Amino acid sequence: MVARRILEGLNFAVDEAADGQQALDRCLEQMPDAVLLDWNMPVMSGIEFLRELRGLADAQQPVVVFCTTENDLSHIQEAMSAGANEYIMKPFDSEILESKFQQTGVL
Amino acid sequence: MNKSDFDFLSSLLRDRSGLVLGEDKAYLLESRLGPVARKHGLTTVDDVAAQLRARRGAPLELDVVEAMTTNESFFFRDTRPFDQFKDIVLPQLLEARRATKSLRIWSAACSSGQEPYTLAMILKEEAAKLAGWRVEIVATDLSTAILDKAKEGLYSQFEVQRGLPITLLMKYFTQAGDRWQISQELRGMVSYRMFNLLESPTALGRFDIVFLRNVLIYFDQATKTQVLERVAKQMPSDGYLYLGGAETVLGITDRFQVLPGQRGLYGVVDPGQKVAAAG
């Protein structure tokens, strides 16, 4: 996966989840510093995952950066009001990913 | 491309734009002038050189200069200069100009407009402090084609993601198909003019802040000196100059001095001060 390679190049330890539910389970086990989140996933979509995540009480909330082919303004607005920190529209490159992580203070 | 064509084209670019092209940059001529050749019904870059030798000053010449001097740019390119602008330059000048309530900013070699629009966005974000002020952003470039793009303010998805926070994209852009256009209001805050840095900037007027980032690197030493000294003449003694992070004035001019601890940000040195110091 392209994103994984870029993130590892930025010295992140990367864990992957196949869908929103799996991602939520992983977060409950060990909260990451940042989540790079797709919109369209089976079982639980990215936006559903984000709402669940932000609803967790007493959790150390991670930075969430959406990374998706959903490139219209209404999706961006929905993601931001659900608590996303940044939004990457696919296709993207390493420079964009890096700058988004810098802007959110993870890097 | 043979050496004589390379020498001819690099000398033409140097005369017309000040661009210094090393011999290791022959590939850049090939890759950028290919489309120019096709546009003019020619096949190769050698044909372009041949046509220019036969007829100087033709539209082809302008297209060649534009294709070679257009550089990639992005919003909030390097965040530091814009943090300095918001936290140091603007507060300082808002205090110094409180009687006239007027500021003029020059974005020199503005390319496709990302730098002046970044400044316009910062000014909008700081609007509360600027009530009643007249702030003018003048943006210049050598290339009329790139100025047309800048005025239109229409950017690809890649361009709007380079450096621009998503909140500012949502606030100041509208979606136009797969591209994004900066708002009419922000476009109205920038006045674009064609200007060649090899010429005198006197007609542009005086500027409190000048952004001249990542342009000097293309000029030879003597041209750098000339450009910076002409810029200094257009600035008050409390003005601010920005250069690219990798650029310096050392050995080029003593009309500017880097601000302590603020790489890339320069204050104007009054020529009178120099005389006094020397005496």
Q: What is the CATH number of the domain that holds B171?
A: 3.40.50.150
Write down all domains in chain A, each with its CATH number in brackets. 2-103 (3.40.50.2300)
Summarize pLDDT for B103-158 with one digit per residue, the tens.
999 999 898 999 999 999 999 999 999 999 999 999 999 988 889 999 999 998 88
Residue in B79, B170, B178 closest to A76 by CB: B170
Two tokens, residue B136: 């003018």
More confident residue, B279 or A20: A20
- Are residues B18 and B104 located together in one domain of the fold? no
What is the domain count for chain B?
A: 2
As a whole number of angstroms, the distance between CA B27 and CA B50 comes to 18
- Are residues B46 and B87 located together in one domain of the fold? no
- Are residues B45 and B138 located together in one domain of the fold? no
More confident residue, B76 or B110: B110
Two tokens, residue B24: 């290791």
Chain A: closest CA distance from residue B206 (Å): 34
Cβ <8 Å between A89 and B161? yes
Token pair 């120099």: residue: B274
Q: Does A74 touch chain B (CB under 8 A)?
A: no
At residue B279 the predicted structure's pLDDT band, cuts being 50, 70 and 90, is very low
Summarize pLDDT for B14-29 with one digit per residue, the tens.
888 777 888 777 888 8
> For residue A91, is the peptide bond before it cis, meaning its omega torsion is within 30 degrees of 0?
yes
- Are residues B36 and B113 located together in one domain of the fold? no
- Hey, of A37, A89, A94, which one would you mutate to test binding to chain B, going by the most B CBs within 10 A of its CB? A89
Of A29-33, A77-81, B51-55, B227-231, the least confident? B51-55
Cβ <8 Å between B161 and A73? no
Residue in A76, A87, A96 closest to B162 by CB: A96
What was the pLDDT predicted at B145?
Answer: 86
Helical (H) or strand (E) element with A20: helix A20-29
Q: Are B266 and B258 in contact (CB under 8 A)?
A: yes
- Are residues B91 and B64 located together in one domain of the fold? no
Q: Is the pLDDT of residue A67 over 60?
A: yes
What was the pLDDT predicted at B278?
Answer: 42
